[in-house]
């Protein structure tokens, strides 16, 4: 997940540069080829629309504490590519999947060092369709 802002060097009456429309970049991930591979390719080629996609990131360990959740809305698979892994002994082919989306919400959950429990959340997001905050 990424975003960029094209700033204008034109000064306003308030001073400083002015911002334009935010551009959200595709979210991409790499994974081993598996039984989802044919369906991911099919969805990309057909332009299949997904209302919502949620990605959870957990800490390693026995408790699997979820510290980051990314929710994407109005999603299409913009690209899928197979990658060889011949340089690694016993290497398994991987694929890179890119998701394009209209809205994004990210929730970061802090973890207390003392007991490992939740220490509060920070939520932020952007509606790229309406060009406004979405959280």
**Is 6 within a domain?**
no
**Is 37 within a domain?**
yes
Per-residue pLDDT, 122: 95
114 token code pair = 């003392």
pLDDT band at 11 (very low <50, low <70, confident <90, very high): low
Q: Can you give the CATH number for the domain in which 71 is found?
A: 2.30.110.20
Percentage with pLDDT > 90 across the chain:
59
Task: Say which residue, 95 or 63, is predicted with more confidence.
Answer: 95
Checking if the pLDDT of 86 tops 80, the result is: no
In angstroms, the CA 131 to CA 135 distance is 13
**Is 54 within a domain?**
yes
**Is 20 within a domain?**
no
Contact 121, 106 (CB under 8 A): no
**Is 13 within a domain?**
no
Torsions phi, psi of 48, nearest 5? -55, 135
Q: Which range of residues forms the domain containing residue 72?
A: 25-133
**Is 17 within a domain?**
no
DSSP 50: E
In angstroms, the CA 17 to CA 78 distance is 32
pLDDT tens for 19-48 read 678 889 999 999 999 999 999 999 999 999
Domain tally, the chain = 1
In angstroms, the CA 31 to CA 48 distance is 20
Q: Which helix (H) or strand (E) holds 111?
A: strand 103-111
pLDDT band at 60 (very low <50, low <70, confident <90, very high): confident
**Is 16 within a domain?**
no
Percentage with pLDDT > 70 across the chain:
85
């Amino acid at each position: 997940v990424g975003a960029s802002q094209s700033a204008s060097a034109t000064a306003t009456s308030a001073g400083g540069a002015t911002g334009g429309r935010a551009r959200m970049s595709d979210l991409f991930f790499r994974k081993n080829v598996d039984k989802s591979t044919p369906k991911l390719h099919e969805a990309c080629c057909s332009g299949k629309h997904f209302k919502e996609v949620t990605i959870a990131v957990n800490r390693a360990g026995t408790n699997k504490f979820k510290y980051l959740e990314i929710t994407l809305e109005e999603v299409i698979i913009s690209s899928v590519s197979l990658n060889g892994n011949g340089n690694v002994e016993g290497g398994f082919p991987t694929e890179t999947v890119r998701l394009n989306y209209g809205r994004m919400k990210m929730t970061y959950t802090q973890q207390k060092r003392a007991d490992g429990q939740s220490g509060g959340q920070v939520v932020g997001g952007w509606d790229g369709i309406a060009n406004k905050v979405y959280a």
